[in-house]
A = this chain, B = another copy of it.
Amino acid sequence: MKLQSFAEERWHVPEGDGKELPSAVDGSTVATVSSSGLDFSAMHAYARRVGGHNLRQYTFHERAGMLKELAKYLSDRKQEFYALSTSTGATRADSWIDIDGGISTLFVFSSKGRREMPNDMVYLDGPPEMISKEGTFVGQHVYTSRRGVALLINAFNFPCWGMLEKLAPAILAGVPVIIKPASSTAYLAELVFRRIIESSILPQGAAQLVCGDLGDLFDHLDCQDTIAFTGSKSTAEKLARHPRVVAETVRFTAETDSLNMSILGPDAAPGTPEFDLFVREVTREMVSKAGQKCTAIRRVITPSEFSSDLVRTLSTELGKVRIGNPASKNVDMGALASQAQRNEVRSRIKELRAEASVVFGNQDVFAVTDADIRKGAFFMPTLLHCERPLASRAVHSVEAFGPVSTVLPYDSLDEAIELARLGAGSLAGSIVTNDNEVARDLIMGCAAWHGRMLIINRYCAGESTGHGSPLPHLVHGGPGRAGGGEELGGVRAVLHFMQRTALQGSPKTLAHIGHRWIRGGEELDPGVHPFRKTFDELRIGDTLHTTSREVTLDDINHFAEFTGDHFYAHTDEEAARKNPFFDGRVAHGYLIVSFAAGLFVDPDFGPVLANYGVDDLRFAKPVNYGDTLKVRLTCKQKTMREGSGYGEVRWDTEVINQLDEIVASYDVLTMVATREEWQKIQAS
């Protein structure tokens, strides 16, 4: 199999033979890889001219729809991915993380895109900023799609997940991708990518693939491009210092080495559920993907008094691990990615042994199942123990990228924190404790060095997703040694591929750009009561000014009686007067909004289907009996729910008293039928 690249809508067969990629399991050649003959300048230009242009024609919701379709399409074809994945050394459980994990990331981004982003091309960041007295000049932060390419450079360990977790937010952001998988497992990435292209779900130019090296691609990047890199720290440093990256301030994020730690709490003595959970977590992290996870636990931080028990129990558990052909059902741990990788891990252990002793694992004598130990890159789980971890350096800085961890004892929480920090920045840290005070102290002490931290106890362990699993909902990345970057985290990841711009101007102009009405902006005459308009007919700015209504003492008394809300501020003149906010009895807040609805609602059967909520309700002034209230209701924002017959309409609402003071301010949320749906409903 000669891996191909995909450039400018064509599959490209490399010139020459390319580099051979051996199977992790038996050393046979799975494929060859080379990018020779690719025109990187043309790829870069094509992505921008065609891919970016095409993607930007769609709204966030429409792009989210593409991701969902893509997830379904790939899900239907995942068996072939699983089959090929075995050659990377992955067991079925390992492949599940890579393949199902990758596909589920598409689903989550699709869902987040539809729920948490507007059905629009502009994303509004925060509320308007009121920067003038009269309100004629306001500010609004917006995000728009960056006009460059998302260059996605992945590591060898998760060829499917790594590609999809970077692709999803970039596509959602409206930015075309050029994907460069790590060569050693590029055959799986190429297969998944081939299916993506076959599906024709993404628009032309939205995705290109480079199997092999990136040639002179970096020389074409500029400030609109984004590099998302996962791999070694040394490569990341080289890329970050690339003259073009620095000169053009190309946006660059890296996820690199990480000596992740897990701390066993001082309460979690042998015999407690937390001790067992810790053993399970450490073992699982060592064995899963044969320890080739950037989030794996490398440093096992334990109270000194538990360390011998811990080493003994971990050794017992590691002793049960069956190593061998990942395709076999009787195997718990497959192979490392390659024999080269195995040699690499061996050298790293040698470095660690200067400060720590091996307490489990013998690379010279171990059995493998269903495989030839001489041909495959098999490796025995190896546990080390470091006696004086505060005085050691290698155990905090040398990453053996395999099933290798070191036990580091501590004598006080401060020491545990100090040990955690010595990792100099990590992707993931965990704490196993049933004492929430311990949890808080450790989090406050360590969080600044970590991108993600778990606290595991008996209560949440059953549903815990585990130390080593990045989730699309949560940010993934970490400071320092971990690369200083951030990925995932839902919408946060999407915005990473967009540009934030602070806009200033009149409320009317900014509403025209952001499609959200801003107070002080133009009030349009809807012609009819706005509740008589369908979703299609409503315009942002359509405004209703209601008639007014007096609030009487009888009303307040009656409301108290009817609802049972006899709160003293509404019912006891003397007590209300003592309250620092009121001069006497005031109307209930819920009475104010109920009367307001009575004023603004148009009762007849119509396209407004339901009030599904209220946001940001604030009572700005007390309403006393004798006050007269009226309402301004303005169509603020419309969000079509694709695939349904209705959309969400948000109404900016103010309740105003006889002195023209605002007494209450809120957004009313309604569902409104489209013209077509409204005709159907009427005909039903």
Give A residues with C-beta under 8 Å from B: 121-122, 129, 131-134, 136-137, 139, 141-142, 144-147, 222-224, 237, 240-241, 246-249, 251, 254, 424-425, 436-437, 439-440, 443-444, 447-457, 459-460, 462-465, 471, 473-476, 479-481, 483-484, 486, 489-490, 498-506, 508-510, 512-513, 549, 558-559, 562-569, 571-572, 575, 578-582, 588-591, 593-595, 597-599, 601-606, 609-619, 645-646, 666, 671, 681-682, 684
* Complex Cα spacing A121 to B440, Å: 12
* Complex Cα spacing A379 to B136, Å: 36
Contact A237 B246 (CB under 8 A): yes
In the assembled complex, the CB of A607 is this many whole angstroms from the nearest CB of chain B, namely 10
Contact B603 A566 (CB under 8 A): yes
> Out of B139, B146, B453, which one reaches A471, CB within 8 Å?
B139
> Out of B146, B479, B610, B615, which one reaches A249, CB within 8 Å?
B479
A-B contact pairs, 27 of them (CB 8 A): A122-B444, A139-B471, A139-B474, A224-B479, A237-B247, A443-B513, A447-B499, A447-B503, A448-B498, A453-B501, A455-B510, A474-B502, A475-B500, A562-B594, A565-B597, A565-B601, A566-B603, A567-B603, A568-B603, A569-B609, A578-B684, A579-B609, A580-B609, A581-B609, A590-B597, A611-B619, A612-B618
Please, which residue of chain B has its CB at the minimum distance from the CB of A134? Answer: B463
Known contacts A144-B448, A439-B512; A505/B455 CB under 8 A: yes
Please, which residue of chain B has its CB at the minimum distance from the CB of A424? Answer: B223
Contact B563 A594 (CB under 8 A): yes
Contact A591 B588 (CB under 8 A): no
Please, which residue of chain B has its CB at the minimum distance from the CB of A677? Answer: B580
Which 3 A-B residue pairings sit nearest by Cβ, starting from the closest? Answer: A564-B598, A223-B480, A249-B484
Chain B residues with CB under 8 Å of A450's CB are 499, 501
Please, which residue of chain B has its CB at the minimum distance from the CB of A490? Answer: B129
> Out of B223, B479, B578, which one reaches A223, CB within 8 Å?
B479
In the assembled complex, the CB of A429 is this many whole angstroms from the nearest CB of chain B, namely 9
Please, which residue of chain B has its CB at the minimum distance from the CB of A504? Answer: B454
Known contacts A512-B439, A564-B595; A464/B572 CB under 8 A: no
In the assembled complex, the CB of A653 is this many whole angstroms from the nearest CB of chain B, namely 12
Chain B residues with CB under 8 Å of A611's CB are 589, 619
Chain B residues with CB under 8 Å of A481's CB are 223, 249
* Complex Cα spacing A502 to B548, Å: 49
* Complex Cα spacing A448 to B147, Å: 7
* Complex Cα spacing A603 to B563, Å: 12
Count identical subunits in the complex: 2
Contact A503 B455 (CB under 8 A): yes
In the assembled complex, the CB of A520 is this many whole angstroms from the nearest CB of chain B, namely 10
Known contacts A484-B223, A616-B615; A605/B578 CB under 8 A: yes
Known contacts A249-B483, A249-B484, A594-B594; A564/B579 CB under 8 A: no
Chain B residues with CB under 8 Å of A564's CB are 549, 595, 598-599, 601
Chain B residues with CB under 8 Å of A455's CB are 503-506, 509-510
* Complex Cα spacing A11 to B3, Å: 66
> Out of B133, B568, B617, B681, which one reaches A613, CB within 8 Å?
B617
Chain B residues with CB under 8 Å of A131's CB are 465, 471, 473-474
* Complex Cα spacing A252 to B451, Å: 18
* Complex Cα spacing A489 to B126, Å: 11
Contact B681 A464 (CB under 8 A): no
In the assembled complex, the CB of A541 is this many whole angstroms from the nearest CB of chain B, namely 12
Contact A463 B132 (CB under 8 A): yes
Chain B residues with CB under 8 Å of A617's CB are 613-615, 617
Chain B residues with CB under 8 Å of A241's CB are 241, 246
* Complex Cα spacing A645 to B475, Å: 39
Contact A459 B508 (CB under 8 A): yes
Chain B residues with CB under 8 Å of A486's CB are 500
Chain B residues with CB under 8 Å of A603's CB are 565-568, 571
* Complex Cα spacing A146 to B448, Å: 5
Please, which residue of chain B has its CB at the minimum distance from the CB of A476? Answer: B502
* Complex Cα spacing A444 to B338, Å: 48
Chain B residues with CB under 8 Å of A509's CB are 436, 439, 455, 457, 460
Please, which residue of chain B has its CB at the minimum distance from the CB of A503? Answer: B453
Contact A129 B473 (CB under 8 A): yes
Please, which residue of chain B has its CB at the minimum distance from the CB of A240? Answer: B246
Chain B residues with CB under 8 Å of A565's CB are 594, 597-598, 601, 603
* Complex Cα spacing A567 to B501, Å: 42
Contact B137 A601 (CB under 8 A): no
In the assembled complex, the CB of A592 is this many whole angstroms from the nearest CB of chain B, namely 10
Given contacts A249-B484, A451-B501, A590-B590, 9 further A-B pairs with CB under 8 A are A131-B471, A224-B479, A241-B241, A568-B605, A578-B681, A578-B682, A591-B594, A613-B616, A613-B619
| Interface core residue of A144, A254, A572 (most chain B CB under 10 Å) | A144
* Complex Cα spacing A278 to B254, Å: 43
Chain B residues with CB under 8 Å of A121's CB are 444
* Complex Cα spacing A590 to B563, Å: 11
Contact A425 B480 (CB under 8 A): no
* Complex Cα spacing A531 to B475, Å: 38
Contact A499 B248 (CB under 8 A): no
Contact B504 A474 (CB under 8 A): yes
* Complex Cα spacing A444 to B174, Å: 13
| Interface core residue of A145, A447, A565 (most chain B CB under 10 Å) | A447
Known contacts A448-B144, A563-B597, A610-B569; A480/B512 CB under 8 A: no
Contact B513 A459 (CB under 8 A): no
Chain B residues with CB under 8 Å of A137's CB are 460, 462-465
In the assembled complex, the CB of A445 is this many whole angstroms from the nearest CB of chain B, namely 9
Chain B residues with CB under 8 Å of A436's CB are 508-509, 512-513
Chain B residues with CB under 8 Å of A582's CB are 610
Please, which residue of chain B has its CB at the minimum distance from the CB of A505? Answer: B455
Contact B222 A480 (CB under 8 A): yes
Contact B504 A464 (CB under 8 A): yes
| Interface core residue of A142, A460, A588, A615 (most chain B CB under 10 Å) | A460
* Complex Cα spacing A558 to B619, Å: 25
> Out of B474, B563, B579, which one reaches A598, CB within 8 Å?
B563
Contact A558 B568 (CB under 8 A): no
Contact B144 A447 (CB under 8 A): yes
* Complex Cα spacing A569 to B606, Å: 10
